[in-house]
Structure 1
Amino acid sequence: MTVPEDWVPEACTLPTSERPLRLAEFGELFTWVLRSERVHDTRLDLVLPADVESAARDVARRESECCSFFTFEFDGAGDDVVMRIEVPVAHTDVLDAIERAQSQ
């Protein structure tokens, strides 16, 4: 899956040369999404198989380092895990783009 670069916000401090790799990592993560729910304008929940939780946490941790406006939380959901992605109101366009990318 190819993730479009249009959801990378200007506030991201990840070096431009590293962005294609990070986008590919998100693209791989999105292939595992079992379902998603836009809980609020500022929150998107992605349900993933529990066996990809470690990889999802790793990507979330590294993304939080370069895009500090993201908040990622994880909760168990039976045999699955919910990855909650939250952003401030000023960055809902980023969440919109993530939602579009993961649903493709």
Structure 2
Amino acid sequence: MSDLSWVPQSCTLPTEEQPLRVAEWDALFAERLQALSRPQPLHLRLDLADGDGVEAQIQDLAERESGCCSFFTFTITSRKDLIHLDISVGQAHEAVLDALAARTAAGQQR
């Protein structure tokens, strides 16, 4: 799923850097994703396996993503051996969250 047409125009990350950022998220999800759920249409929850430095890595990625895509709200919560990454958006960006969920689910099935 290399097509980045789902990335909204409101994203301020330079176009040439977008594939690199997506690859960072993809690598994190490929290595750590345990479960994915959609509690509400505007809310995605990812359960990631914890490990040495993983929470800091997630925090770093979330902060950088918020810097270019301010429509995302990230909440990180540690629970035992899992880190919950909750991602929410406003109504105008539901399609972006849909694409992110589909991309993450596709990676989970590999």
If the length of structure 1 is used for normalisation, what is the TM-score?
Answer: 0.92
1:64 to 63, 66, 87: 66
Residue in structure 1 matched with residue 47 of structure 2 by the alignment: 47
If the length of structure 2 is used for normalisation, what is the TM-score?
Answer: 0.87
Residue in structure 1 matched with residue 37 of structure 2 by the alignment: 37
Please give the per-residue CA displacement for 1:21-80, whole angstroms capped at 9, x wherever unaligned.
Answer: 111111112212100110111100000012222211111100000010100001122211
Say yes or no: does 1:27 pair with 2:26. yes
Q: Distance in 2 between matches of 1:17 and 1:48?
A: 28
Q: Distance in 2 between matches of 1:33 and 1:82?
A: 10
Residue in structure 1 matched with residue 99 of structure 2 by the alignment: 97
Q: Distance in 1 between matches of 2:55 and 2:71?
A: 21
* Unaligned residue ranges in structure 2 (runs of 5+): none
* Unaligned residue ranges in structure 1 (runs of 5+): none
Tell me the SS of whatever aligns to 2:11. Answer: coil
Tell me the SS of whatever aligns to 1:37. Answer: strand
Tell me the SS of whatever aligns to 1:39. Answer: strand
> Aligned-pair distance for 1:7?
2.7
Moved over 6 A (4+): none
- The number of aligned residues is 103
Cα RMSD of the aligned pairs, angstroms, is 1.2
Overall identity of the aligned pairs, in %: 42
